[in-house]
Amino acid sequence: MWEIIMAPKARIIKRRRTQNWGQLIRETNRYIDWLILLPAIILMILGTIMVYSASADMPTGSAFSYVFKQGIFDITGLFGVLFLFHFKFRWQTRGAQWFIRLAMTASIFLMLVAFVFGQAINGAKGWILLGPVSLQPVEFFKISLILFLAYTSGKVMNEDEAEALGVAGRRWPRIFMLIAIFGVFLDGIMPDMGGVGIITMISITIILAAKWRPIFMIASAGLLFLIYILLPNLVNWFGLENSGSYMVARLIAYINPWEVASSSGLQLINSLYAISNGGIFGRGLGNSIQKFGNLPEPNTDFIMAIVAEELGMFTILIILALLYLMIFRLITWGMRTKIMFYRLTLYGFATYFFMQVLVNFGGVVGALPITGVTFPFISYGGSSIWSLSIALGIAMNIIKQIKHEEELGKEG
């Protein structure tokens, strides 16, 4: 008798669950940008394979342990992307504004903890050791800073939007701007010059996109070009050859790695050997020579050198093309929206992805100094994968809202 009474109720609950899952799938297919998500999934899969191959001769663990952790990072990262995509979040509210400020302050606090209590790795402090996993707070600071700068650029928003967010004429944006500047300063003294360079370019991009001052843009580009030209001479001008600084040693290796081939130039030289060995189509998966004791950090900073050696420059071009597609889509969606916060956030994430690629691969091929920046979705590391996944999830959530607003506009 009890089963007869409960059976219809159970069928109703099951039907509702089926409808909810069906609605979720329809929403995913309707609003998701697969030209952003699919390249990320492909890069994660390829990255996991290459982490396993590049970790064959690591002194601190087996290849299986590295690929197991990387697989967990990727899976949790993808769940994070989908969660953030489906999360119903009202970005244009004061609550969202305070959430972003809190996230930025929390990430800076973790950076301070890493700087004070963290263990120095390769001459820099920036990691919090949590058992078998190390957390790098600066990766999450990049995300919070992008969101914060997108909000505080409200002076160029329309008046209604600025008033709704409480941006104009308030002291709080100035206070939190000082906190953000402190975060950049803290990252610089760790020292993490690669992170500082990426953060600086992200900030410049967002400021230019908000204010659009051509003179400032030309002056900034000229300054960066001048620094790049003069960089090789800085060591000689200031007599820093014998300073003993790890950062200066990397700069010397960038200028002429062959003069310091047995010390700081070892990484770049063996990276160039790996790229040369690979040619166009590579030596074959797992057949790298340089990963066996010759190239330090083969599964993180220099994993692209192993990719080039085993799979060739043809695969490198495919990887770069997939990342270019993602960046292009982010910029395209940013141009399609009239809401300044959406636009600046998408531009900031596009710059974040682009600068990660530029700084890492530039160091691998010797075009830029080696800075320890990871390659997006390919290098081993939980902080990098999770940070990129958060950026991807927020970007896709914003794109979903842009699509929804476009549909409402057409209906109206």
Please answer whether residues 238 and 253 qualify as being in contact, where contact means their C-beta atoms are separated by less than 8 angstroms.
Answer: no
Q: Which pTM was predicted? A: 0.84
Least confident of 183-187, 250-254, 322-326: 250-254
Note whether residue 255 is domain-resident: yes
Q: Per the domain annotation, does 253 fall within a domain? A: yes
Q: Is the dihedral of CA 59, 64, 68, 70 positive or negative?
A: positive
Name the residue with tokens 């799938």.
25
Output the six-digit token pair for 342: 């959406």
Total residues found in the chain within this entry = 412
- Confirm if 203 and 183 have CB atoms less than 8 A apart: no
Residue 77 CB-density burial (10 A; 0-12 exposed, 13-18 middle, 19+ buried): buried
Q: Which tops the pLDDT comparison, 363 or 228?
A: 363
pLDDT band of residue 166 (cuts 50, 70, 90) is very low
Q: How many domains does the chain have?
A: 1
Residue 4 resides in a domain: no
- What is the spatial distance between Cα 358 and Cα 385, in angstroms, rounded to a whole number? 17
Nearest CA-CA partner of 314 in 279, 266, 338: 279
- Give the model's pLDDT for residue 222: 57
Q: CA 128, 392, 31: angle at the middle one, nearest 5?
A: 150
Q: How far is CA 304 from the centre of its chain?
A: 16
Domain range for 283: 43-411
Residue with tokens 């040693």: 249
Mean pLDDT of 401-409: 79
Q: Are 40 and 392 in contact (CB under 8 A)?
A: yes
The 10s digit of each residue's pLDDT in 275-299 is: 999 899 999 998 888 888 788 878 8
DSSP-assigned letters across all residues of 207-252:
HHHHH--HHHHHHHHHHHHHHHHHHHHHHHHHT-TTS--HHHHHHH
Q: Using a pLDDT cut of 70, give the percent of the chain over it.
A: 72
Residue 3 has pLDDT above 90, yes or no: no
Establish if 150 belongs to a structural domain.
yes
Q: Is residue 202 part of a domain?
A: yes
